[in-house]
A and B are shown apart, each in its own frame.
Chain A
Amino acid sequence: QQQVKQSPQSLIVQKGGISIINCAYENTAFDYFPWYQQFPGKGPALLIAIRPDVSEKKEGRFTISFNKSAKQFSLHIMDSQPGDSATYFCAASSAASNTGKLIFGQGTTLQVKP
């Protein structure tokens, strides 16, 4: 019940296209859903995050869509650029845990072709 399932494992998109990565969770206590971006040799960096009181959050070319009833959330990257090529992780946590511990998905390797 603590798992966060992420798909696809890898994704190839043409420059200018839309990249979509999906995540699903089981634990209804989760109330914070961030996405992290990781470049080779670097630690993950927070990209965008959402709480379940909203269904969508947009920051620049990055949008999170959240479906509370389906227990799913997704990352959309509009106008994908070669510089977006990285590994993306979704994650979830619960304030009730009092730890801030994040449960991460398995990651999606995105390649944006020029």
Chain B
Amino acid sequence: GAGVSQSPSNKVTEKGKDVELRCDPISGHTALYWYRQSLGQGLEFLIYFQGNSAPDKSGLPSDRFSAERTGGSVSTLTIQRTQQEDSAVYLCASSLEWSGGGYTFGSGTRLTVV
């Protein structure tokens, strides 16, 4: 597609429920990143996928968070047993391999845990 597409754009869920956030990167971009942006905060790195290499999961805050990337394209970020502190905007970005940080971000999914 022309840009990075994320869905849903907004998600309200009850505490304790599981949620899945989807990212569809730019066609041909082999690198995919997930970041989290809390209110008034910077962007916190979560996970990185590059081609068929093992993902860099070093930023995942707890074992309730997981992500996968199927077929080198679409990625899903899953949060199990959501907590109120998980409320944030989850941003996905893609790039051409290691492109020196020239990411293209999606518009994000705003997650609210009530």
- List A residues at the B interface (Cβ < 8 Å): 6, 32, 34, 36, 41-46, 49, 51, 89, 91, 93, 95, 98-107
Distance, CA A63 to CA B95, complexed state (A) = 24
Q: Are B102 and A49 in contact (CB under 8 A)?
A: yes
* Chain B residues engaging chain A, CB cutoff 8 angstroms: 4, 31, 33, 35, 40-45, 48, 50, 56, 91, 93, 95, 97-108
15 contacts between A and B (CB under 8 A): A6-B42, A36-B105, A41-B107, A42-B107, A43-B4, A43-B93, A44-B91, A89-B43, A91-B101, A99-B98, A100-B31, A102-B45, A106-B41, A106-B42, A107-B42
Of B4, B45, B107, the contact of A101 (CB 8 Å cutoff): B45
Task: List the A side residues contacting B105 at CB < 8 Å.
Answer: 36, 43-45
Bound together, the chains give a CA A114 to CA B47 distance in angstroms of: 41
Chain B residue nearest to A45 in the complex (CB):
B105
Given contacts A42-B107, A44-B43, contact A101 B91 (CB under 8 A): no
> Given A93-B101, A100-B97, 8 other A-B contacts at CB below 8 A?
A6-B42, A34-B101, A43-B91, A44-B43, A44-B91, A98-B98, A100-B103, A104-B44
